[in-house]
Amino acid sequence: MNNLTSPKIAELDSESLSLESVSLWQITWNRLFRRKSSLVGMGIILLLVLIALTAPWIAPYDPLQVLIGIENVKVRQAPCIHLLGCPSDQPQHLMGIDGNVRDQFSRLLYGTRLSLIVGFSTVTFAIVVGTVLGALGGYFGGWIDNAIMRIMDVLLAFPSLLLAIAIVTVLGPGLINALLAIGIVSIPAYARVVRASVLSIREMDYVSATRALGGNTNQILFGRILPNALTPLIVQGTLGIATAILDAAALSFLGLGAQPPTPEWGSMLGTERNQVFTAPHLVFFPGFAIMLTVLAFNLLGDGLRDALDPRLAHVSK
Amino acid sequence: MMLQYILRRLLAAIPVLLGILLVTFALARMIPGDPCRALLGEKATQETCERFMREKGLDKPIYQQFLIYIQDIARGDFGNSIRFSQPVTRILVERLPTTVELSFAALFVSILVGIPLGILSAVRHNSWVDVVTMIWANIGVSMPVFWLGLMLAYVFSLLLRDTPFWLPPSGRVSPGTDTTAFYIAWNLTLPESGLWRGLAEFVSRLNILNALLTGNWELLRIAVRHLILPAVALGTIPMALIARMTRSSMLEVLGQDYIRTARAKGVRYSEVILNHAFRNALLPIVTVLGLSLGTLLGGAVLTETIFGLSGVGRTLYDAITARDYAVVQGFTVVIAIFFVVLNLIVDISYAYIDPRIRLN
């Protein structure tokens, strides 16, 4: 019986699923494009990805190269831009020279890579762990759910940056450990989102149907429930990238994340923070870059939330 | 009914508090290094260390150590700091007021600006006010606190240094300011130590409150001027969150039938907005306020670092880097408990605002 029916179900299902997912994405895409703010967000992200990919070609200098003896530049020299009247016999440094006589513009371009990697990797980690925990809790209920959600409550009871600082202290300062700490701290948000969706989807008719047709736990959870719980996760994930980049920059600013001479925006800002009155360009540019990146992911996340919200369905018609 | 609700919420907070204690205990135990040599110095001999471990109960099984730890905390004993050779509670009494004052000022700024802006942009939906407010709010949400703080200091302490807009870039008061505590000004006789003494010292270190209590207007002026930049830096993210939430929540409520009814009855527009719409839009706003508290306490570490304030956040960070375990444990626990209590207050205020919650 089971052998006879299951291929048909699979066939039917894959057809309906692909149809549904295509239309959903199309609607989402259309709605995203209609919003100016999400367009701006996507534009900035695209630009950042381009910069990250082409950094070695567009950066005028090596980000780690100390320019003493190579060029006639001073420590923390202000930006020199030929178009804005800087004498052409001086070497051009769009964002000036940092405390170790390196070209700040090149360091900033390379920093894009690290920020994007930080955002995506911590969120991926948190989504994977959070989804597994949330799905287990939501699907099985009972003591498993209770135990998982109480642990999540405790994690949420600490201000996230403080917990991340404490975890980095235990693991030791460094970029990888900072990523791990931020990842751990953001798990509860995803676990909660997934659990809530699983709880509501678990009772849907199509899930009962799969169960009645003899589908096992794996098929039900990974084939039926989780794909349908994806929407809130995408929104949460996009906004999560913004938070992760901000928190990672804060940890590096405090000296617990990326270590010098790594070109990381938070760490660049942190090492030069006492020079804000004498060399403001060393503080302004890295901070502005952090703000712009976080803003882009926030705009896209907000746009996605509105675009994927079924209550706003009429807008797309 | 209300009392029952509060009791139920209090009971629900107990397992979370125990979890917090367990996590801080575990994290502190996992910090690399030997507690004996960290406390007594690298040159401590084997015998001194063994005696030390026995005295502190560190030779007992781990679950017994945890019980001792809980007992100590219940008695208000967080141990002694190695760096300051002082009880942790003493350091808390000294440092907590800075953070409390800063957090409240930041929250005050964010509510004072965020809510009116949110209401205005909902009422003038799609106008230029709305567009500008939302662009500004999106930027505010994405702002790195540490960068904003440094930039504010650059503008207000350096660029505007010879204007009336100049603001001090660091510290809580100018050197030489009279900060006589209210209990001294009032000639109160307090015991040398104990709860009342601690409480009085705590209050007297809240500069603004102390200035009001003693009528010291010079102190009030100086303390407020020192507080503006850090409070604005720390308050910007919550301010932007509150403005956004107020706007969307107001927009939702303004479309309801009862608003139209009130307007049709001839109720004045300002009254409809404030009494009919805003009250019903308050619940999500309070939620955002609750969520902002975590950002606020985390951001306090960064803000205090930039503005040279020795508050809880900065002290905790210094203690972590100096492996001052007792301070790390004590401060983390106090901050987490503070956080839980604030969230409890937010939950209770839900029930106060929305009767459906407490009746459920």
Q: What is the DSSP letter of B215?
A: T
Contacts of residue A3, defined as CB under 8 A and 6 or more positions apart, other chains included, come to none
Q: Which residue of A has its CA nearest to B22?
A: A154
The amino acid occupying position A96 is G
Q: Which residue has the tokens 């099985």?
A: A140
Shortest CA gap A211–chain B (Å): 34
CA B293 to chain centre: 6
Contacts of residue A280, defined as CB under 8 A and 6 or more positions apart, other chains included, come to B154
Which among B238, B229, B228, B224 is positioned nearest to B296, based on CA atoms? B238
pLDDT in tens, A174-188: 899 999 999 999 999
User: What DSSP string runs through B105-138?
Assistant: HHHHHHHHHHHHHHHHHHHTTTSHHHHHHHHHHH
In percent, the amount of chain A with pLDDT more than 90 equals: 33
Query: B360 is written with which tokens?
Result: 């459920």
Whether B336 and A158 lie within 8 Å, measured CB to CB:
yes
The angle, 0 to 180 degrees and rounded to 10, between the axes of the packed helices A36-58 and A104-140 is: 130
Query: B180 is written with which tokens?
Result: 């006589």
Burial-class residue A198 by CB neighbours within 10 Å (0-12, 13-18, 19+): buried
Which among A58, A67, A59 is positioned nearest to A99, based on CA atoms? A67
Whether B320 and A246 lie within 8 Å, measured CB to CB:
no
Whole-prediction pTM value?
A: 0.85
The amino acid occupying position B7 is L
Please give the angle made by the CA atoms of B27, B30 and B35, to the nearest 5 degrees: 110
Interface test with B, best of A168, A187, A276 (most B CBs within 10 A): A276
Residues of chain A with pLDDT under 70: 1-23, 310-317
- pLDDT at position B196, please? 84
- pLDDT at position A311, please? 58
Which among B100, B67, B13, B21 is positioned nearest to B330, based on CA atoms? B21
- pLDDT at position B297, please? 77
Shortest CA gap B316–chain A (Å): 9
Q: Which residue of A has its CA nearest to B296?
A: A159
- pLDDT at position A317, please? 31
How many of the other CB atoms lie within 10 Å of CB of B333?
Answer: 21
Give contacts of A271 with chain B, Cβ < 8 Å: none
- pLDDT at position B359, please? 61
Alpha-carbon distances of B360 from A26, A278, B38, B326, B346, rounded to whole Å: 41, 60, 52, 42, 17
Give contacts of A302 with chain B, Cβ < 8 Å: 138
List, run by run, the mean pLDDT of 10-residue segments along chain B (360 residues).
80 83 81 69 76 75 83 82 82 89 91 92 90 92 93 92 87 82 84 81 88 88 92 93 90 86 86 84 81 77 89 84 77 81 79 70
A42-48: list long-range contacts, CB under 8 Å, 24+ apart: A42/A296, A42/A300, A44/A292, A44/A293, A44/A295, A44/A296, A44/A299, A45/A296, A45/A297, A45/A300, A48/A112, A48/A115, A48/A116, A48/A293, A48/A296
Q: Which residue of B has its CA nearest to A251?
A: B302
Q: In angstroms, rounded to a whole number, what is the distance separating the alpha carbons of residues A44 and A296?
A: 6
Partners of residue B87 on adjacent β-strands = B80
Nearest to A165 among B20, B141, B317 (CB): B317
Whether B298 and A288 lie within 8 Å, measured CB to CB:
no
- pLDDT at position A4, please? 46
Nearest to B138 among A153, A154, A295 (CB): A295
Please give the angle made by the CA atoms of A276, A277 and A282, to the nearest 5 degrees: 35
